[in-house]
Amino acid sequence: MNAPTIIEDQKPRISVADLFHMVEQGVIDPEAKFELVEGEIRQMSPQGPLHQNLQRWLTKNLERQMGDRFWVAPGATLILKEHTALDPDICVYPLAVETADLTGEKVSLLIEIAIFSRRYDLGQKAALYALMEAQELWVVDAKARTIHVHRDARDGAWRDVREVAFDEALSPLAASDVSIRLADAG
């Protein structure tokens, strides 16, 4: 007698194309805050005043210092693969790169502002960004007043991770002449 076949419970996975189609058809509110992770729609944390202030301040200061060489795009959607699309708080990439051609290795800097999403941003999301081989990731931990700097993504992992305090100056790898000190954000 043959052993019974076990069928794993598999949820249907949504593709990025399916997701965009659902938004176009009005099934999903285009103003909703969500990401697509491995085929599952994930609700994103609300952005409170602290998050918005840090995002605005970083965007303004990065644009002022990098704007002649890089796009500084708050809320840009990055398509990692067929079933994963992430929305970093800020995405920085060279002016020569067209949005349609934006892939992980062309991203100079990703910034996530972690207030309610610290575990996700430092865990699964950082790992997904490493898989896409972005040059650098900053996770701004607003509560601890530190920046988790991730560099050198290889084989799906960050090889260089360190913490920088808000009162320390920080420069992106792609633009060493740029200096950001989050303590100046207030």
- Is the CB of residue 87 less than 8 Å from the CB of residue 138? no
CB atoms within 10 A of CB 89: 24
Domains, the chain, with CATH or none: 46-74+88-185 (3.90.1570.10)
Which pLDDT score, from 0 to 100, does residue 77 have?
A: 85
CB atoms within 10 A of CB 134: 28
- Is the CB of residue 89 less than 8 Å from the CB of residue 111? yes
Per-residue pLDDT of the chain (186 residues; tens, 9 = 90+): 455 554 555 666 889 899 889 889 989 888 888 888 988 988 887 788 899 999 999 999 999 999 899 999 998 888 888 888 898 999 999 999 988 778 888 999 999 999 988 999 999 999 999 999 999 999 999 999 999 999 999 988 999 999 999 999 999 999 999 999 999 987
pTM: 0.88
CA dihedral 104, 107, 113, 118 (to 10 degrees): 30
Terminal Cα distance for the chain, rounded: 72
Which pLDDT score, from 0 to 100, does residue 131 have?
A: 92
